[in-house]
Chain A
Amino acid sequence: MHMTGKPVLTVAILIFMLWGMIGAAQESHVGNLVGNAKRGKALYERYCIFCHGPTGDGRGESAPYLDPKPRDFTKAVFKCRSTASGSLPLDIDLYNTITRGVHASGMPSWRPLLRQERVDMVAYIKTFSPAFKEEKPGQPVTIPTEPPDSPDSIARGAALFQSLNCWSCHGKDGRGHGPSAASLTDSQGNPITPFDFTSGTHFKCGQSDQDMFRDLVTGLDGTPMPSFAAAMKPDQMWDVVHYIRTLSTSKKHAEPKDQTDGQ
């Protein structure tokens, strides 16, 4: 039996397209760097596998002893994103989390790794969930210019902190022991502790005011921390950010940081 030239060409194009889709899914893009999942796999096995597990499900050898538990990459649910709640993160979001680490958890900053290595890791992490092949990540949220920090802004933020029930988890003094705190769990059913705003300025998804603003807009998916995008206007979010800053015992504010600088 002989195939005519046309079906052969069609099959070849289909194979090429399929290969291209798979290839694209195993890549990541951060700035001008392109991540390679194969190289990322080798790095994952060196650095990540003992916590996140061989299949990326967060059940590595060390996982039982860690609190909070390592992220389950197969669910494609990530706390720190620049995209709206419920959507996939951008490659740069995953890269920033790897670079920055997650404060008060077992996840350290991997900034000592080369930028290319971190981008390769992102490419491999994306292979754990089909969502990265089937869906596109959301659009990054817009962060407007921060208005001046003032006593009025702080007072408005304090009122919002009360009226929006932030205190029920984070506590009236921001120490993370509100009345709901003890019963909170993450999306994997593990107990989770609300952030203690008095502990410093190392928030989970960045230290700057802009990072805090973004957290309020996007929420932290996989945790009880919801998005407040519909509940507050941007100016109100800045007010809350300014108020939360007053809860910290450290008054040193971090400036927005470009995580891609490698320094």
Chain B
Amino acid sequence: MGSVIRKRLGLDLLILVTLFAWAQTAYGIPAFARKYGLPCSACHEAWPMLNNFGQTFKDNGYQLGNGRDAPIYQEPAYWPVMFRTTPVWHRESNNRQAVDSVAGNGGSGQIESTVTTSGFDLLGVDMITAGTLYQNISFFVQPFIGNSSISLQQAWTRLDNLAGSHWLNLKVGKFELDQPISQERSLILNNTGGIYYNYFFTPPGDNNFFQGIGFPQLGAELSGHSENDHTRYSVAVLSDSNGSPNSPSNQGYNVYANFNQAFEVPWFGKQEVGAYGYFGESPTFFQTSGGAPLPGTGTGNRGLYRAGVYGHWFVDKFDFYTFYLHGYDNVFLGNSVPSNQPSSLPFGAVAPVWNGGFVEGHYNPTPRWIVIGRYELNRMSRQANPNIRGDLGNVDIWTVGYRWYPIMSPRAGFAWTQEYSHASNAGAAPLSGKDDTHSSVLMGFDFDF
């Protein structure tokens, strides 16, 4: 049983690693810099991470409010499009991986061994077109061109400043949730630390359509903010599809909400606190035809939530994010058992509960240089299946790195990045059940234009 779960967890981790490809869709948008003549540093503490001015611009529907936002004020040749790609060299090392004891001989039995790869690579191409269709009507379309696939990451339109108020904005489409710290704008790119693990975590043995707040979701979002963006809220109603178009899992809806408040503290700067929560259901089985599930007919819904608090603290040129998440999935979700077959639940089955969080610090002495450090952890509080090892799913990840921006202009962005991440996954080795570790070294150029 434990081995199966570990293999499943290994699969989950593999999936998590493949999320890395999605994590590469972080962006800065020089199309806006070109439109307004502002440099990257006006909107980004260090691109792609927004500062408060950039967040306000985003919350205003990509409008500065200077009377020049509508497309009619732009040169007819202006096209609000930007591309981003990241040629890098990286080295990945994963220990205690299941490999054939004799390479090339699938029947030789498996052993655990370290798998190391390295070389030059390309992390796909982001294409973003975004801006205003008219005053107070904004849009965003983001296809991602991977090395072997194309996907539509986001596509939405937004009615801004309804009734002339900053407090009422309505967005409809597929969009990034109003996350405490934007996954899209992570400064880290490598396989091991390139995502916020807490945003995507599901417990071992869990079978939940909702895969975490890190994914763009389909739905409608009502949001608002004060003029200086120190007070913000958002409430989104989302289809229970984990953001996959054409395949809602059922006819249910989930809700995500986020609120944050910032304060100006003398000598220190801006201090921000916030709370968020995702509350929803996920189907546990489908109507079937010939045994095959019919899309959209999910039923036997059971509840889940992710909720927590966070803060962003500035001390002169240093700033720190602190993030906490508490997660819960219903017992049927946690054990991958249809709710119409309760007898299939293992003896002693309970709803899985876990806690996670991270601290991410930045030292940003100039707009051209930022040093990054992050420590992230996840701790299972209660396994869905008591037969599962209690700490399976626990993870510790730390990352250090820096980004240097040798050029900065209102036309394009260019960065040199170097980073190292190390992850330790408790009990995840597929054969021995020991802890396994992953590490990544990445260096390369990150540019958009």
B409 at the interface (CB under 8 A from A): yes
A61, A101, A108, A262: residue with the most chain B Cβ atoms closer than 10 Å: A108
Q: Which residues of B contact A240 (CB under 8 A)?
A: none
A262 to B55, CA, bound (A): 16
B126 at the interface (CB under 8 A from A): no
Binds B, one of A5-13, A89-97, A109-117, A122-130: A109-117
A45, A51, A111: residue with the most chain B Cβ atoms closer than 10 Å: A111
From A50, A111, A116, A262, give the contact of B39 (CB < 8 A). Answer: A50
Whether B66 and A105, one on each chain, are in contact in the complex, defined by CB atoms closer than 8 angstroms, is: yes
Whether B367 and A46, one on each chain, are in contact in the complex, defined by CB atoms closer than 8 angstroms, is: yes
Give the total of A residues in contact with B, Cβ under 8 Å: 33
B165 at the interface (CB under 8 A from A): no
A199 to B36, CA, bound (A): 20
Q: Which residues of B contact A66 (CB under 8 A)?
A: 37
Whether B42 and A103, one on each chain, are in contact in the complex, defined by CB atoms closer than 8 angstroms, is: no
Whether A115 and B37, one on each chain, are in contact in the complex, defined by CB atoms closer than 8 angstroms, is: no
Whether B38 and A262, one on each chain, are in contact in the complex, defined by CB atoms closer than 8 angstroms, is: no
* Identity of the chain A residue whose Cβ is nearest the Cβ of B262 in the assembled complex: A114
B326 at the interface (CB under 8 A from A): no
B379 at the interface (CB under 8 A from A): no
- Report if A114-B269 is in contact (Cβ < 8 Å); known contacts: A50-B410, A61-B409: yes
B76 at the interface (CB under 8 A from A): no
From B55, B56, B227, B266, give the contact of A263 (CB < 8 A). Answer: B227
Whether A263 and B53, one on each chain, are in contact in the complex, defined by CB atoms closer than 8 angstroms, is: no
A102 at the interface (CB under 8 A from B): yes
A100 to B67, CA, bound (A): 12
Q: Which residues of A contact B68 (CB under 8 A)?
A: 104-106
Whether B264 and A114, one on each chain, are in contact in the complex, defined by CB atoms closer than 8 angstroms, is: yes
B52 at the interface (CB under 8 A from A): yes
Least distance between B31 CB and chain A CB atoms (Å) = 15
Whether B66 and A104, one on each chain, are in contact in the complex, defined by CB atoms closer than 8 angstroms, is: yes
A38 at the interface (CB under 8 A from B): no
- Report if A108-B64 is in contact (Cβ < 8 Å); known contacts: A46-B42, A66-B37: yes
Whether A108 and B66, one on each chain, are in contact in the complex, defined by CB atoms closer than 8 angstroms, is: yes
Instruction: Bits for A232-263, please: 1 = Cβ < 8 Å to B, else 0.
Output: 00000000000000000000100000000011
Whether B367 and A45, one on each chain, are in contact in the complex, defined by CB atoms closer than 8 angstroms, is: yes
Least distance between A260 CB and chain B CB atoms (Å) = 12
B178 at the interface (CB under 8 A from A): no
A136 at the interface (CB under 8 A from B): no
Q: Which residues of A contact B164 (CB under 8 A)?
A: 252
From B66, B228, B270, B409, give the contact of A101 (CB < 8 A). Answer: B66
A168 at the interface (CB under 8 A from B): no
Least distance between A263 CB and chain B CB atoms (Å) = 6
Whether B367 and A62, one on each chain, are in contact in the complex, defined by CB atoms closer than 8 angstroms, is: no
A160 at the interface (CB under 8 A from B): no
Measured CB to CB, the residues of A under 8 A from B are 42, 45-47, 49-51, 61-62, 65-66, 101-116, 199-200, 202, 252, 262-263
17 new A-B pairs (CB below 8 Å) besides A62-B38, A105-B66, A108-B38? A45-B367, A46-B41, A50-B409, A50-B410, A61-B410, A104-B66, A106-B68, A107-B66, A108-B64, A108-B66, A109-B64, A112-B53, A113-B52, A114-B264, A199-B67, A252-B164, A262-B228
